[in-house]
Amino acid sequence: MPQEFNLRLNIQPGMCVKVKGDILANASGFRINLGKDEENIALHFNPRFNYYGQNIIVYNSRKEGVWGTEQKETNFPFKENMSSEVSITFEGKQFVVRMDNGQENTFPNRLDLKTIDFMSFYGDINVRSMDFN
């Protein structure tokens, strides 16, 4: 059963969010959104399993309800029935996303947000812990 929840936050530049969880069996994907609210998402992190025959990570942003241009990454470290960790550092001008296999990707802060006030999760991951530092 997909998990979903929203949080109100006050993440400043230099802060990091670490999410640990278990990828569910037969997962189709999950997403982590960071931004101002549901209509203004500075970072949409969306690993997708078997998306048109391949596993990809989609990065995007959403401004006033309109999605931007997707950035796709084919280096895919996630596996069904496995635990995983994602670390997202808000650096002001960009986000740095680190995965537990050592992979690191960056995504620009297209909305030029000064703080991150909103975080949401949805999908085939059982979130076990979150750490903010």
Residue 100: the pLDDT is 87
Which are the contacts of 9, defined by CB distance < 8 A and separation ≥ 6?
A: 116, 117, 118, 119, 132
> Which stretches of the chain drop beneath a pLDDT of 70?
1-7
Residue 103: the pLDDT is 92
State pLDDT tens for residues 113-127: 999 999 999 999 999
Contact, 115 vs 40, CB < 8 A? Answer: no
Contact, 88 vs 106, CB < 8 A? Answer: no
**Domains of the chain: which residue ranges?**
3-132
CATH class name, domain 3-132: mainly beta
DSSP 43-93: EEEEEEEEETTEEEEEEEEEETTEE---EEE------TT-EEEEEEEE-SS
Residue 9: the pLDDT is 85
Residue 6: the pLDDT is 66
Residue 7: the pLDDT is 66
